[in-house]
Structure 1
Amino acid sequence: MTRTEGRHQVALVLLCAAVFLDSMDLSLMGVALPAIGRDLSLPDSTLQWLMSGYAVAYGGFLLLGGRVADLFGRRRVFVVSLAVFAAASLAGGLLSDGWPLVVTRVVKGVAAAHTAPAALSLITTTFAEGPRRNRALGVYSLAGATGYTAGLIASGLLTEVSWRLVFFLPVPVALLVLAAAPKVLPRGLRPPGARQGFDAAGAVAVTGGVLLLVFALTVKNWPAGVMAALLLGASVAIERRRPAPLVPLEVFRSGTVGAANLAALAWACATIGWQFAAVLYLEHVLDYGPLATGLGIVPMGLAIVITANLAGRLISRWGLGRVAATGMLVQGAGILLFLRAGTTSGTTVDYVTTLLPALVVHGIGNGLSFPSLNIAAVAGLPDERQGLASGLVTSAVQIGAGIGVAVLAAVMPLGDSPLAGYRIAFLTAGGFSLLGALIAAIGLRLGRPAPAAA
């Protein structure tokens, strides 16, 4: 390994550590919320915003974050946003009032919305298209998936000691990355005239529209959804007239970008929606405690780790379309296997024979599909648009997560018993996964990554 290659590998570790933190923060709050509510005497409405505030800000600012990274320097945006993320985490652990805590979560969401696309675009501009980038994006996807799983496990362990540790946990990791980043990450060049080309009107319309959309999905506020549709429609009209738009519409003319984003949205509807329902099922129907629930899904995380490491090689051999579609089908099969579970699967034997196969199959599908969709979403685009493309696909995942959770929460009461309601939810999540497989199979059928020379 040459010195340059070694530097690139260290840079990849740092960037993956940051996205690991972003993903982990999505799940860290879940188990800690009851303890926070008891300790600070907070109502459920405030507790909900400890989750929703992060999700709304993260999903709403992603497109702006991706464009800012392109225009003002990816390393600079990465370092500044990660520093803000660490400071907000530290402040959250020290506060003892409800709404100031919510503010720290919103600030962290905004920071993560800048960190994630900057990190992904640093990877795509550091590693040339082809097997090396495929492997790097596979590791990146793996970091995001394992971060979410690790958050569920760590939340259960840390809350047993003190919920404040949930806020403090990301701080030392972020500080280590910040210390090494200036020495390892490539500086990159800011495109000439970047500041003059910033589209303020488009930024307000797109960011406001996505913010309202994620808000509407998160708290089921449908008037906000109507406003979101109006703002997003206005943003399209604005972008068509701007010489330097925030979201150049021609990026969707790339062979795989549009299909990859639609498939990523369906992917998130399926897997994040299913995880929401599955965790409730384990805790409410099978009487799993928070720690048992977190440990129970560890095999899924391991399956994702192993499969994501192989995804790059499979994509190089079979192409993006086949791997992504196969992954979505396998993921859907894992979701549908949960239909075999009943109300008495709390024993070790039943876990091994019923739940474990479903979790492992789902993890294998996850590890195949998510790296494929990330690669397809940025393939063939020039370096100056990698941040935007990264923000688009991450935003699609966040919006899909909101849709999936909202839809599955709406269909669960339709069953004539709690178990029947969960089975309807699992069927719905499986349907989302099959839809994603169809989109990937059709839209990415030409889906080998473009050669580096392109």
Structure 2
Amino acid sequence: MTSPRAPGAARREGRPGIALTVIAACQLMVVLDATIVNIALPHIQKALSFSTTDLSWVLSAYTLTFGGLLLLGGRAGDILGRRRVFMFGILLFTFASLVGGFAQEPWQLLAARALQGVGGAIASPTSLALITTTFPEGPERNRAFGVFAAVSAGGGAIGMLAGGLLTEWLNWRWVLFVNVPIGLLIVVLAPIFISESKRHPGRFDIAGAVASTGGMASLVYGFIRASEEGWRDPLTLGSFGAALVLLALFALIESRAKEPITPLRMFADRNRSGSYVIMLSLAAAMFGMFFFIVLFVQNVLGYSPIESGLAFLPVTVAIVTGAGISQRLLPALGPKPFMVVGSAITAAGMTWLTFIDPGSSYLSGVLGPMLLFGFGMGLNFVTLTLTAVSGVEQHEAGAASGLLNATQQVGGSLGLSILVTVFGTASRNEAEKQLPAFMAKATPEQKAEFTRSHELPASWGHQVLAQGISTAFIAAAGLVLLALLTASVVVRVRKSDLEALSGTASTGGPAA
């Protein structure tokens, strides 16, 4: 006679492979949705009559709510039960995807994208925390983290490929509709193969959640606004001022709260704090690389959506390869070598990309640096994931994983906003430089078209675009160098860290 199942236990326990597949599928869906619409943007603009400025919010509406609410999502899983919160986040994400796919007006799509971000912010940190409760600490959990990290790192590139396939073979709406069957399947399988976590009584840190969300949203909006209206625009300055006040208030609230959404003591460990800085910097460069290479291959090289998506497939291979190598060798070598070498390789790839120009082909100017960039990122992602969450107490696992994910998402949002600002300034300067030569050689028809559209013809515009992208990549290289400096100077490895990573030590945080 079989014993009754404990409340909240999976209906089919002992299937860790399937449980990991469900968790990883959630993370893949959430991560790739940050990039899957990139290649479809021209089609969305035409279908819903977006202006070029408003079109940028199709990306920003998602990243702002996703990055801004990740900390609250992690805390919710701790208090209410991780599987329960995980399933709610997936259902909300799936519903928003369905609504967005049927959008007939710009505001409808933007509202759906923002709601997708809310659902993703609830589900994503909880999915990582579920690994800590589903797999015992040691080699089994390390392998699960490796799979999770590889999915997180490769999700952006996979989104590019999926977006190209869906846009060209079906239409742009399917970059949203594709989430519906996947989300429903995850919700069905979760209670079958994943057990509910123990609920930890507590209260929601609403004041901290509002301050952190508002602060990060204001900061990202300030950079986006600056790229459009300039640094002296009153709303730009007001956004930065609001971000400064709100983020300072957030730190004050967290230092005094009895149950903070982000326990500040997590930052006392220099290895963990260093991993957060490295993650933020690398994600900033990665989001920018994806965004600008899409512009280059479509607008300069003339690639179709599916060709653009396929152009990013080697990046995924490079990331997975790097992640696999680090996963196998990490217990023996420790995290620091992979952080330093991975960041150095990523910096080399990004520096190579700064030489891009209108004469660059995919093979000569894009593929090589992207492979270097992706391999370096793969070496880093597994290492950063393990270092950031290892040794965290069970009742704070959701907050720790939420903070890790927040640094990646907010780093990507902030980085893209900063790089777009650099791109916009460099592009305008290059256009002003090219304008006299264009006007001297242009036909009356070309001059009339320029007066109407304020855009240079493609033969001249390619130089403007390439110069803007090249300059943006210089700034991105600076961000990666910050990650390399942090890995070299801040992160320290001790014997206890190596033991924890190899599963031979008992649970407990790495030494400060």
TM-score (norm 1): 0.92
Offset, 1:120: 0.7
Residue 350 of structure 2 is aligned with which of 325, 335, 344? 335
Aligned partner of 1:376 in structure 2 is 387
User: Amino acid of the residue matched to residue 388 of structure 1?
Assistant: A
Matched, 1:314 2:329: yes
Within 1, Cα distance between the matches of 2:186 and 2:177?
15
User: Amino acid of the residue matched to residue 439 of structure 1?
Assistant: T
Residue 253 of structure 1 is aligned with which of 268, 272, 286? 268
Secondary structure of 2:34's match? helix
Offset, 1:112: 0.2
Instruction: Decide whether the 8 Å contact of 1:330 with 1:362 is kept in 2.
Output: yes
Instruction: Decide whether the 8 Å contact of 2:274 with 2:487 is kept in 1.
Output: yes
Secondary structure of 1:29's match? coil
Instruction: Decide whether the 8 Å contact of 1:42 with 1:98 is kept in 2.
Output: yes
User: Amino acid of the residue matched to residue 23 of structure 1?
Assistant: V
Paired residues for 1:45-444 under 5 Å: 45-160=53-168, 161-191=170-200, 193-194=201-202, 197-220=203-226, 221-346=236-361, 351-412=362-423, 413-414=425-426, 416=430, 418=464, 419-444=466-491
4+ residue stretches of structure 1 with deviation over 4 A? 3-6
Within 2, Cα distance between the matches of 1:422 and 1:81?
36
Q: Work out which of the two has the higher radius of gyration on C-alpha atoms and give 1 or 2.
A: 2
Going from structure 1 to structure 2, the CA distance change for 1:288 and 1:9 (only over 3 Å counts) comes to same
Identity %: 36
User: Amino acid of the residue matched to residue 307 of structure 1?
Assistant: G
Within 2, Cα distance between the matches of 1:5 and 1:325?
40
Aligned partner of 1:25 in structure 2 is 33
Instruction: Decide whether the 8 Å contact of 1:254 with 1:380 is kept in 2.
Output: no
Within 1, Cα distance between the matches of 2:204 and 2:74?
12
Aligned partner of 1:446 in structure 2 is 493
User: Amino acid of the residue matched to residue 314 of structure 1?
Assistant: L
Instruction: Decide whether the 8 Å contact of 1:322 with 1:445 is kept in 2.
Output: no
Gaps of 5+ in 2: 1-10, 227-235, 431-462
Within 2, Cα distance between the matches of 1:105 and 1:438?
36
Aligned partner of 1:39 in structure 2 is 47
TM-score (norm 2): 0.82
1:224-244: CA deviation from partner (whole Å, max 9, x where unpaired): 222121111112222222222
Offset, 1:431: 2.0
Instruction: Decide whether the 8 Å contact of 2:36 with 2:175 is kept in 1.
Output: yes
Within 2, Cα distance between the matches of 1:368 and 1:15?
22
Gaps of 5+ in 1: none
Offset, 1:128: 3.6
User: Amino acid of the residue matched to residue 217 of structure 2?
Assistant: L
Instruction: Decide whether the 8 Å contact of 1:131 with 1:316 is kept in 2.
Output: no
- Residue-pair matches, total: 445
Instruction: Decide whether the 8 Å contact of 1:46 with 1:99 is kept in 2.
Output: no
Within 2, Cα distance between the matches of 1:403 and 1:30?
17
Going from structure 1 to structure 2, the CA distance change for 1:218 and 1:187 (only over 3 Å counts) comes to farther
Secondary structure of 2:15's match? helix
